[in-house]
Structure 1
Amino acid sequence: MQGENLTIWSFFSLKGFSRYPKLEVVLFIFSLVMYLITLLGNSTLILITILDSRLQTPMYFFLGNLSFMDICYTSAFIPTLLVNLLSSQKTITFSGCAMQMYLSLAMGSTECVLLAVMAYDRYVAICNPLRYPVVVNRQVCVQMAAVSWVTGCLTALLETSLALRLPLCGNLIDHFACEILAVLKLACASSLLMDVTLLVVSVLLLPVPMLFICISYVFILSTVLRISSAEGRSKAFSTCGAHLTVVVLYYGAALSVYLKPSSSTSQEVDTVISLLYGVLTPMLNPIIYSLRNKEVKDAIRKLLGKVSLHRTRESL
Structure 2
Amino acid sequence: MENGSYRYEILRIEGLRITRYSSYPVFALLFLIYLFIMVSNIGIVMMIAMDKALHKPMYFLFCNLPLNDAISATVILPRLLKDIVAESDRYISFIACVIQAFGYHFMGTSAHTILIIMAFDRYVAICDPLRYHTIMNNTKVVRLSVIAWITAFVPVGALLALTARLSHCSSVISNPFCDNPSLFKLSCENVLLNQIVGLLFSVMYGMISILCIAVTYLKIAHVCLKNKNSMIKGKAIKTCSTHLIVYLILLGCGSTVIILHRFSAYEELRNVASVLVYVIPSSLNPVVYGLQTKEIRQGLKQIFLRRKVIPG
Task: Tell me the TM-score normalised to structure 2 length.
Answer: 0.91
Aligned to 2:287: 287
Count of aligned pairs between the two proteins: 311
Aligned to 2:86: 87
What whole-Å deviation, never above 9, does each CA across 1:101-154 have from its counterpart, x for those lacking one? 111111111111111111111111111111211222211111111111111222
Aligned mates of 1:271, 1:189 — CA distance in 2: 24
Distance 1:294 1:221, change over 3 A: same
How far 1:192 sits from its partner (Å)? 4.9
Aligned mates of 2:9, 2:222 — CA distance in 1: 56
Contiguous gaps of at least 5 residues in structure 1? none
Aligned mates of 1:18, 1:257 — CA distance in 2: 17
Aligned mates of 1:22, 1:153 — CA distance in 2: 41
Worse-superposed segment, 229-238 or 29-38: 229-238
C-alpha RMSD of matched pairs (Å): 2.3
Aligned to 1:182: 182
Aligned to 1:75: 74
Does the CA-based 8 Å contact 1:168-1:188 persist in structure 2? yes
Secondary structure of the residue aligned to 2:167 is coil
The amino acid across from 1:9 in the alignment is Y
Does the CA-based 8 Å contact 1:34-1:280 persist in structure 2? no
What whole-Å deviation, never above 9, does each CA across 1:12-42 have from its counterpart, x for those lacking one? 1111223544443332122111111100110
Map 1:99-114 to 2 at 5 A: 99-114=99-114
Secondary structure of the residue aligned to 2:300 is helix
Aligned to 1:272: 272
Q: Does 1:160 align with 2:165?
A: no
Aligned to 1:220: 220
Aligned mates of 2:4, 2:250 — CA distance in 1: 39
Secondary structure of the residue aligned to 2:129 is coil
The amino acid across from 1:105 in the alignment is H
Distance 1:166 1:299, change over 3 A: same
Aligned mates of 1:87, 1:192 — CA distance in 2: 35
Does the CA-based 8 Å contact 1:16-1:175 persist in structure 2? yes
Secondary structure of the residue aligned to 2:181 is helix
What whole-Å deviation, never above 9, does each CA across 1:276-300 have from its counterpart, x for those lacking one? 1111111111110000011001111
The amino acid across from 1:153 in the alignment is F
Distance 1:176 1:261, change over 3 A: closer
Aligned to 2:233: 233
Aligned mates of 1:8, 1:306 — CA distance in 2: 57
Contiguous gaps of at least 5 residues in structure 2? none
How far 1:72 sits from its partner (Å)? 0.8
Map 1:52-63 to 2 at 5 A: 52-63=51-62
Aligned mates of 1:110, 1:245 — CA distance in 2: 17
The amino acid across from 2:69 in the alignment is D
Secondary structure of the residue aligned to 2:268 is helix
How far 1:231 sits from its partner (Å)? 2.9
What whole-Å deviation, never above 9, does each CA across 1:161-218 have from its counterpart, x for those lacking one? 2222211211111111002212222221124543343233213321211111012111
Worse-superposed segment, 21-30 or 250-259: 21-30
Aligned mates of 1:38, 1:159 — CA distance in 2: 28
Does the CA-based 8 Å contact 1:115-1:247 persist in structure 2? yes
How far 1:59 sits from its partner (Å)? 1.5
Distance 1:96 1:198, change over 3 A: same
Aligned mates of 1:270, 1:80 — CA distance in 2: 18
Aligned to 2:44: 45
